[in-house]
Chain A
Amino acid sequence: GAVVSQHPSRVICKSGTSVKIECRSLDFQATTMFWYRQFPKQSLMLMATSNEGSKATYEQGVEKDKFLINHASLTLSTLTVTSAHPEDSSFYICSARVPRHIERQETQYFGPGTRLLVL
């Protein structure tokens, strides 16, 4: 399957600071990437859809001004958690959709996740 990477794998920050998480598709160009959040013992929750060259589409209840998404290239999407607070501590996971000309069903492949701890 296709490879998606995330950086950093874990980050600890102070309350009120901003944290940027990178998601890269390593062996394909992805016009669409997705960002998820997962709290302990819970399932993945879709936060937003990141589209290359356009604004992200946020799921209901997700604050777009708090979770800034930039998809400036076909292989990179970034999620910035602004003014992070302890309740933002979570496991953040991205995925990238393989384009149709590579896989007809446009399968999504996931990154390894980034664990954020806000003190």
Chain B
Amino acid sequence: DAKTTQPPSMDCAEGRAANLPCNHSTISGNEYVYWYRQIHSQGPQYIIHGLKNNETNEMASLIITEDRKSSTLILPHATLRDTAVYYCIVRVEMRGSTLGRLYFGRGTQLTVWP
């Protein structure tokens, strides 16, 4: 699996957009970018994923650069409850295989302040 690089921490004011970057310069053509977050003492929560097109759901938007070497997770209106560690992970899509496992890096600690 490709490795990812994320800043260790970021701050964001409540109500503002939080933009979390992720570098995955060694990503392969069939590797998806997944984003999860972990609020303290809880299991990770799925946020969004994408391959090469930008994606949006009710939680966030995912912007992937054209060369796919980096991506940005956008929380459009951050709230205090969005304070968490955000993990960017690349995963090979394998059909019916034990490959495609998720390996977590250190992630970005996002702190949303009032």
Q: Which residues of A contact B103 (CB under 8 A)?
A: 46
CB distance from B87 to the nearest CB of A (A): 8
Which A residues, 30 to 50, have Cβ-Cβ distances below 8 Å to chain B? 32, 34, 36, 43-46, 49
Are the C-beta atoms of B93 and A49 separated by less than 8 Å? Answer: no
* B interface: dominant SS: loop
Q: Which of B36, B49, B87, B102 contacts A105 (CB 8 A)?
A: B49
Number of interface residues of B (CB under 8 A): 24
Q: Which residues of A contact B104 (CB under 8 A)?
A: 36, 43-46
Which A residues, 101 to 119, have Cβ-Cβ distances below 8 Å to chain B? 105-113, 115
In this assembly, does B77 line the interface, its C-beta being within 8 Å of a C-beta of chain A? no
Are the C-beta atoms of A110 and B49 separated by less than 8 Å? Answer: no
Closest 4 A/B residue pairs (Cβ):
A110-B43, A44-B104, A110-B44, A43-B104
11 contacts between A and B (CB under 8 A): A4-B43, A43-B106, A44-B44, A46-B101, A46-B102, A91-B41, A100-B96, A108-B46, A110-B43, A110-B46, A113-B41
